[in-house]
Amino acid sequence: MGKKLIGIFGGSFDPPHKGHSIISSISIKKLKLNKLFWVITKKNPLKKKPFFKLANRLKKCKKVIKDNKKIELKYLDKTLKSSKTINILKYFRKKNKNAQFFIIIGADNLISFHLWNNWKQIVKLSKLVVFPRTGYDKKAKKSVIVNHLNKKNIIFIKTKRINISSSKIRRYYLN
């Protein structure tokens, strides 16, 4: 059997939605993933406090992924005393020595990826998988990271735009 292929889809999932599950399904299919971990964090370090409580988000995530056996939900903030991608990646690498890892992000995250803790090490230990986001794609393809990486460490997924986002859902709750 070949190398195990593992995806890591991290975030606050505030709230989780159909777009997250579509991205997950596409990732599993296109990358031929054996496993995809949804790694939920208490709080995104680059954003203000979450809208929904962690317990609520965990419950909603379980509901969204319940029908897909390849997706597993993890909350590692307490275990790792961190929500940083580099620490999450090292945790999974220790448990899966010979696996190939994929970090799944949106084009909006690629633009600020160079601000992430130990980003150069993240891209050495994994491949970045970038999904299109309306209004961010052109900027993402000209980002610091794209200029730094060679083409084999970054995969731009070509798919229809998923016109749903957690921020749109939160705005709905506020109105």
- The answer on pLDDT for 165 being more than 70 is no
- The answer on pLDDT for 1 being more than 80 is no
Q: Per the structure block, which two tokens stand in for 107?
A: 């084009």
Q: For position 155, what pLDDT does the model report?
A: 93
CA–CA dist 99, 101 (Å, integer)? 6
What is the CA 46 to chain-centroid distance, rounded? 14
pLDDT in tens, 43-75: 877 677 888 999 999 999 999 999 999 999 999
Average pLDDT over residues 103-119: 92
**149 three-state secondary structure:** coil
Q: For position 174, what pLDDT does the model report?
A: 60
